[in-house]
Amino acid sequence: MDSVVSLADKLTLIDEHWSPRIVATVNEQEVKLVKVLGEFVWHDHPDTDELFLVVRGTLHIDLPDGRRTLRAGEMYVVPRTVRHRPVADEECHILLIESAGTLNTGEHTDSALTSPATWL
């Protein structure tokens, strides 16, 4: 991928919720865009931290010690092994950074929400 990536342009191509799409890689990390709405499943990632940056809307991240709320232009890193549940009351657009190959539902490899990331 040797081109300038417009987050807004890429987001217009996404028509599913909770389906992460890869838009770049940097040092074995994948940069993904996701549209989310509603409650995701509680899960964790044993081997990767996960950075959430909200591009549009509001995202809640439920954590064992309570809820964080991120608005557009705000980010939060969920450390590896920490259980978390993303929640969006209205559609929210997110940029994620995590190790290449990370499955969105963590240990729930056969959840209805499980969606292996593909390039956009």
* Cβ-based nearer residue to its own copies, 25 or 118: 25
Choosing from 13, 16, 38, 69, the residue that interacts with its own copies (CB under 8 A) is 69
Compose the 15-34 pattern: x for residues touching its own copies by CB under 8 A, - for all others.
---------xxxx-x-x---
Closest approach, Cβ 112 to its own copies, in A, equals 28
Centre a 10 Å sphere on the Cβ of residue 69 and count the other Cβ atoms it contains: 12
Q: Does residue 109 touch its own copies according to CB under 8 A?
A: no
Site size toward its own copies (CB under 8 A) is 29
Would you state the structure tokens that stand for residue 16, as one six-digit string? 């599913």
How does strand 58-63 pair with strand 118-119? unpaired
Centre a 10 Å sphere on the Cβ of residue 100 and count the other Cβ atoms it contains: 12
Question: Which among 13-21, 35-43, 65-73, 110-118 is the span making contact with its own copies, rule CB under 8 A?
Answer: 65-73
The DSSP letter of residue 57 is: S
Closest approach, Cβ 106 to its own copies, in A, equals 15
Rg (Cα) of the chain, in Å, rounded? 13
Considering only CA atoms, which of 68, 86, 79, 71 is closest in space to residue 20? 86
* Cβ-based nearer residue to its own copies, 13 or 75: 75
